[in-house]
Amino acid sequence: MAQISLTFPDGNKRDYPAGVTAAEVAASISTSLAKKAISAQVDGKHFDLQWPIPADASIAINTLQDEAPALELIRHDLAHIMARAVQEIWPEVKVTIGPVVANGWYYDFDRAEPFTPEDLGAIEKKMKEIINARDPVKTEVWERDRAIAYYEERGEPFKVELIEAIPGDEPLRMYWHGAWQDLCRGPHLQHTGQVPADAFKLMSVAGAYWRGDSNRQMLQRIYGVAFKNREDLKAHLHMLEEAAKRDHRKLGKEMELFHLQEEAPGMVFWHPNGWQIYRTLEDYMRMRQRAAGYKEIRTPQVVDRKLWEASGHWEAYKENMFIVEVEEEHAKEKRINALKPMNCPCHVQVYNQGLKSYRDLPLRLAEFGSCHRYESSGSMHGLMRVRGFVQDDAHIFCTAEQIEGECADFIALLSSVYKDLGFDSFEIKLSTRPDVRIGSDEDWDTVETALENAIKKVGAAYEIDPGEGAFYGPKLDFKLTDAIGRKWQCGTFQVDPNLPNRLGAEYIGEDGAKHRPYMLHRAILGSFERFIGILIENYAGKLPFWLAPRQVVVASIVSDADAYVAEIVAALRARGVKAEADTRNEKINYKVREHSVGKVPVILAIGMQEVEARTVSLRRLGETRVESLTLDAVIDSLATEAKLPGAA
């Protein structure tokens, strides 16, 4: 029998018969490992313990202590266990697909009656029975005709359609969990008892069209979450409770920030309070970018398709663009324009005006650019996913030698901005060359090394995401962590030699010859709309004083204090504080409660005692303590707090 050589993580090698399984390899090492094993990494690929290994390879045996593979398998097995539970309770239900998603899984079912919350409880109970049964999981490889006949016999038309849609003619892998079977690529655990029975929960039911086609059958999608242990599940459910309390849509209504309506799907109607946040954030970013050497520009929102064709966006992005047809007075045919989905081609047009020299580089062009993208109605979510948005977009035109310095400066700027906005930690992911790409390996070596050196230069931690760069160049993605531990990808830095080449950007080098510049795409906040949603949820509406739309309410306790209230408001406004008066004939406790719901950071209560002493009683949002301070001290203190971070 042919032999193969397997290399272990410690560098040791062992010979085995060709076709040995990872389970047999684990057993050859120790009985203990064989019992703990759940899967293997074979040449970097996730392998089921039952799959044969045909050739020399590197191998590592996974156990439940290995976080990523363990969670993948637990969630994948739970998708199958849930589908089995559903069909054991309701045999007439048809099954479709059940992939792993963030924090859990879902499975789509065809059932005449809608699933109820009580049904979810019954399914959970049945799932725990299946887990406790410790039924073995086994896999076989079948020819397609046999698999189709199997599903036709059992009246599973969705499975038949799935098989017929799979390209090629390779055999298919079938999995059994006990007596229940499903078409699946795997891998899976070795028996149902390896799934922790107290670390999952069914969360919700939603409608989903078969294969995402609105003309096809509406199915019912059940979502579940799962973790390695009960403590992690409890932490996740607590986070979801916190997220619900912090929902920016709920707080946006309470704070009167914005609304959305059917007549303009995915477009934000900003109210005065929300627009105040927006403008303050824009003023702050404008100040920071100006200090960093960026020149602000403004480009059109409606651009002829010819530019999008030249840039390559028309071919690759047309279905996500809003198309505008215009009948020009003397034109023979309609002119086709598009609302810009991104700003980069327009920035190249600004760069191309006038001859550029190497002395002009790096040239940093920034725009608070208004963009529009056609997002599906099902994907839109408050401010987090919209069709009309503004980016803090900028493009840096530079030489290859300048990439590292520009990247390091950008990371330092981004880090400072995030810190000012309350985000002390963020992650950097460096996405490297994909299999399908343009440019030589030498060019990729140069720019990838430049980005990696820049990260090291500023002393930041990072991870490499192999093969996930754009076809034209590598990129950095920046994920910040909010107050309840969620990750948000906001900032980006991308190296692009392609677009300048397509759109004819060039500069005169020291040698007197023409050269193509590199174009660095960069954003710190990304979409203003989305970032404001993140801020609202991070702070649970209690925004930093300088960013709050309503900073101070001066509330009278008695009507005789109204004149002093007006004086205080005028003095605060003169020093740049957003102050307003509340002289309504209401009790002070009522006023405090109302303005606290509106997340006003500071309330100044004014009665006759304050009038006579020319003091104020200051209460901060979320605190019960009340301070009695002199008027001049309060004005000076609040005026300082109201300044933009870093402003003189």
State pLDDT tens for residues 266-277.
999 999 999 999
Query: At residue 355, what are phi and psi to the nearest 5 degrees?
Result: -75, 135
Numbered residues of the known binding site for Zn(2+): 344, 395, 521
Q: Which of 392, 393, 409, 496 is catalytic?
A: 393
pLDDT at 331: 63
State pLDDT tens for residues 217-243.
999 999 999 999 999 999 999 999 999
Active site residue 259: no
pLDDT at 1: 67
Active site residue 393: yes
pLDDT at 330: 66
Average pLDDT, the chain: 94
Residues 554, 557, 563, 568, Cα dihedral to 10°: -20
Q: State the span(s) of the chain assigned CATH 3.10.20.30.
A: 3-63
CATH of domain 68-232: 3.30.980.10
Is the pLDDT at 439 greater than 90? The verdict is no
Active site residue 381: no
pLDDT at 445: 92
Average pLDDT over residues 409-415: 96
Q: Residue 236 CB: number of other CB atoms within 10 A?
A: 18
Q: Which of 475, 550, 599, 619 is catalytic?
A: 475
Is the pLDDT at 326 greater than 90? The verdict is no
**Confidence tier at 329 by pLDDT (50, 70, 90):** low
Q: Which of 391, 402, 494, 551 is catalytic?
A: 391
Residue 431's identity, in one-letter code, is S
Active site residue 181: no
pLDDT at 333: 72
The domain made up of 3-63 has a fold known as Ubiquitin-like (UB roll) (3.10.20)
Look up residue 226 and give its two tokens.
């799962």
Longest Cα separation, the chain = 102
**Confidence tier at 379 by pLDDT (50, 70, 90):** confident
Average pLDDT over residues 324-332: 74
Is the pLDDT at 196 greater than 90? The verdict is yes
Contact 18, 3 (CB under 8 A): yes
Look up residue 8 and give its two tokens.
């272990």
Distance CA 539, CA 542 (A): 5
CA 455 to each of CA 419, 459, 475, 525: distance values in angstroms, whole numbers, following the listed order: 17, 6, 12, 19
Distance CA 167, CA 609 (A): 82
pLDDT at 230: 95
Q: Beta partners for 638?
A: none
pLDDT at 454: 94
Q: State the span(s) of the chain assigned CATH 3.40.50.800.
A: 545-642
Is the pLDDT at 335 greater than 90? The verdict is no
Distance CA 484, CA 409 (A): 29
pLDDT at 229: 94
Active site residue 146: no
CATH of 259-539, one of 3.30.930.10, 3.40.50.2300, 3.30.1390.20, 1.10.20.10: 3.30.930.10
Numbered residues of the known binding site: 344, 395, 521
Q: Beta partners for 385?
A: 381
Contact 295, 312 (CB under 8 A): no
pLDDT at 325: 87
Q: Which of 373, 433, 515, 595 is catalytic?
A: 373
Q: Beta partners for 390?
A: 370
Give, in words, the CATH class of 545-642.
alpha beta
**Confidence tier at 438 by pLDDT (50, 70, 90):** confident
User: What is the CA angle 435-438-439, rounded to 5?
Assistant: 115
Q: Which of 236, 288, 521, 619 is catalytic?
A: 521
Q: Which of 184, 344, 398, 407 is catalytic?
A: 344
The percent of the chain in helix, strand and coil, each rounded to the nearest 5, is 40, 30, 35
Q: State the span(s) of the chain assigned CATH 3.30.930.10.
A: 259-539
Residue 595's identity, in one-letter code, is H
